[in-house]
Chain A
Amino acid sequence: MDAQYFISSGLIELYAAGMASEQEVQELEAAMRQFPEVAAAVETYRRNMEEYVSLQRLTPEAAVKTSLFNQINNEPDLQDSLQKTDQQMQQPKLVSMTETKSLSWKWIAAASAALLIGSLILNYVFFNRYKEFKEYKDKYQSLLLSQNSILSKENLYKTRLEQMQQSLDVIQDPDVMKVKMPGTKAFPEAMATVFWNQSSKQVYVKVNKLPEPAADKQYQLWAIVDGKPVSMGVFEMGDTAQLLQKMQITGAAQMFAVTLEKKGGAAAPTMEQMYVAGKVPG
């Protein structure tokens, strides 16, 4: 094979277009070393292709160059390492990578430890604060409770005082007539008093001594008007019994009596259960 064979084979054109096969490339490159005229022909076509390519050039963005030079300047080891073999070139990079890695690992570990300690301290502080807060909260709640109970007691006393005042007012009224009702023969220990306002005709009863009735029973006050019993209503026992209890109104009565009846009162008094009775004086 001589130089002319290669020049006329068409291989150089394919080679220039980058389309020659691996084997053809090897053949041609061998011929280029052997025959200067083949090398010259290849160079001619190559320059043609390069010119073809250069005619289609495009201007890249300016940022690419900036970025490129930044990257180059961030490879300080490159210049030295490139003078050495590829093997050596890898090593400083690897070492620096491991250093960075272990450094960052240490840093992360230190940061984690610091965070953990910080977190523990904050936990302690906040837990203590929470405990204190809880103590105060408990104290506050008990104070609130006792204040409530004081308030309710105060209300109770106030109410009681008002009731006493009302009772006193009733008794102190000069128009009020006091009818003492001693115990009957069956209940000699019992005692109650009727206060009867002569102008308003209002009747009040005050328990002096009466036994607590069963839950389904209630005491009932009667006014005996012209020999007939007229109900003045039932009255409460317990704490209320200490007070003067407002009953019905009656214009005339010769006598007052208390019987024990079923809860809510009865239409007619049960004579056997008459506890106290007293005549209106005068």
Chain B
Amino acid sequence: MDFSATYTEAELVQGLRARDQKIFSYLYDHYSPALYGVIVKVLNNDSTGGDVLQDVYLKIWRYADRYDETKGRLFTWMLNIARNTAIDILRSKSHKLEQKIQNITDDVNAGSGPLTVYQSTDYLGFSKILEKLTKEQRTLIDLAYYKGCTQEEISRVLDIPLGTVKTRMRNAIIQLRNILNK
């Protein structure tokens, strides 16, 4: 995906640090759907998602100086803020692990939850990827990435040995890479 159609990465970073509202607006327009997708997936609802998204962008605006380009791209940094903010909220709501799993499993089983309604342009592409990942592979990735589960937690809730979690997770990620790099 080409996120800098009109600006280079360096221009975006510089603009954000200068608190250039035009650049910030661009960052919002281009990245907010991805960040919002993460937030909604983590919290498993989109009723509070808008507020969380606003909070995430405020953090990006306020803490722009903390971004370190040597550690990764700007999008990676923004995505991490979105993911960490949402996971913090998930944990502060004292969601039980089982609940988290239930949500993920529901997602997987339902195949087309209420969220898919909003997934317009990329839904077809996304479903093609889903077809090539097993349900278990998707569950593993989602539990780790969206719910912030540790290997131990995944081992416990899916009732598979810790070593097996690692192996299967690795295979899932490799499978994802193979699909996407085709």
Report the separation of the CA atoms of residues A268 and B86 in the bound assembly, to the nearest whole angstrom: 122
Contact present for B54 and A68 (CB under 8 Å) = yes
Selecting from A55-63, A114-122, A255-263, the interface stretch reads A55-63
Residues from chain A with a CB closer than 8 A to the CB of B79 are 50, 53
Determine whether B100 belongs to the interface, using a CB cutoff of 8 Å to chain A.
no
Determine whether A65 belongs to the interface, using a CB cutoff of 8 Å to chain B.
yes
Contact present for B36 and A58 (CB under 8 Å) = yes
Contact present for A52 and B34 (CB under 8 Å) = no
Contact present for A58 and B166 (CB under 8 Å) = no
Contact present for A60 and B32 (CB under 8 Å) = yes
Contact present for B54 and A67 (CB under 8 Å) = yes
Return the chain B residue nearest A51 by Cβ: B180
Report the separation of the CA atoms of residues A60 and B170 in the bound assembly, to the nearest whole angstrom: 32
Contact present for B65 and A82 (CB under 8 Å) = yes
Determine whether B46 belongs to the interface, using a CB cutoff of 8 Å to chain A.
yes
Rounded to whole Å, the gap between the CB of B158 and the closest CB of chain A is 13
Report the separation of the CA atoms of residues A30 and B36 in the bound assembly, to the nearest whole angstrom: 31
Determine whether B7 belongs to the interface, using a CB cutoff of 8 Å to chain A.
no
Rounded to whole Å, the gap between the CB of A75 and the closest CB of chain B is 8
The number of chain B residues with a CB under 8 A from chain A is 58
Contact present for A13 and B170 (CB under 8 Å) = yes
Contact present for B145 and A60 (CB under 8 Å) = no
> Do most interface residues of chain A lie in helix, strand or loop, or is the interface mixed?
helix
Residues from chain B with a CB closer than 8 A to the CB of A58 are 33, 36-37, 40, 46, 49, 115, 118-119
Q: Which one, A14, A46, A50, A63, contacts B170 given CB within 8 A?
A: A14
Known: A19-B144, A53-B34, A56-B119. A68 touches B151 (CB 8 A): no
> Do most interface residues of chain B lie in helix, strand or loop, or is the interface mixed?
helix
Contact present for B33 and A18 (CB under 8 Å) = no
Known: A57-B33, A58-B118. A17 touches B145 (CB 8 A): yes
Rounded to whole Å, the gap between the CB of A46 and the closest CB of chain B is 6
* Cβ < 8 Å to A, chain B residues 131-161: 140-141, 144-145, 148-151, 154
Contact present for A56 and B41 (CB under 8 Å) = yes
Binary A-proximity of B33-69 (CB < 8 A = 1, otherwise 0):
1101110110000100110011001100110110000
Residues from chain A with a CB closer than 8 A to the CB of B33 are 57-60
Q: Which one, A10, A16, A69, contacts B166 given CB within 8 A?
A: A10
Contact present for B141 and A52 (CB under 8 Å) = yes
Residues from chain A with a CB closer than 8 A to the CB of B53 are 60, 64
Report the separation of the CA atoms of residues A50 and B38 in the bound assembly, to the nearest whole angstrom: 10
Contact present for B28 and A68 (CB under 8 Å) = yes
Report the separation of the CA atoms of residues A21 and B152 in the bound assembly, to the nearest whole angstrom: 10
Rounded to whole Å, the gap between the CB of A83 and the closest CB of chain B is 8
Contact present for B177 and A45 (CB under 8 Å) = yes
Residues from chain A with a CB closer than 8 A to the CB of B95 are none
Report the separation of the CA atoms of residues A41 and B115 in the bound assembly, to the nearest whole angstrom: 32
Determine whether B89 belongs to the interface, using a CB cutoff of 8 Å to chain A.
no
Residues from chain B with a CB closer than 8 A to the CB of A45 are 173, 177
Report the separation of the CA atoms of residues A54 and B61 in the bound assembly, to the nearest whole angstrom: 21
Binary A-proximity of B82-106 (CB < 8 A = 1, otherwise 0):
0100000000000000000000000
Contact present for B41 and A82 (CB under 8 Å) = no
Contact present for A19 and B122 (CB under 8 Å) = no
Determine whether A164 belongs to the interface, using a CB cutoff of 8 Å to chain B.
no
Q: Which one, B58, B72, B176, contacts A68 given CB within 8 A?
A: B58
Return the chain A residue nearest B65 by Cβ: A82
Q: Which residues of B contact A (CB under 8 A)?
A: 1, 19, 21, 24-25, 28, 32-34, 36-38, 40-41, 46, 49-50, 53-54, 57-58, 61-62, 64-65, 72, 75-76, 79, 83, 115, 118-120, 122, 125-126, 129, 140-141, 144-145, 148-151, 154, 166-167, 169-170, 172-174, 176-177, 180-181
Q: Which residues of A contact B (CB under 8 A)?
A: 10, 13-14, 16-19, 21, 43-46, 48-61, 63-65, 67-69, 71-72, 78-79, 82
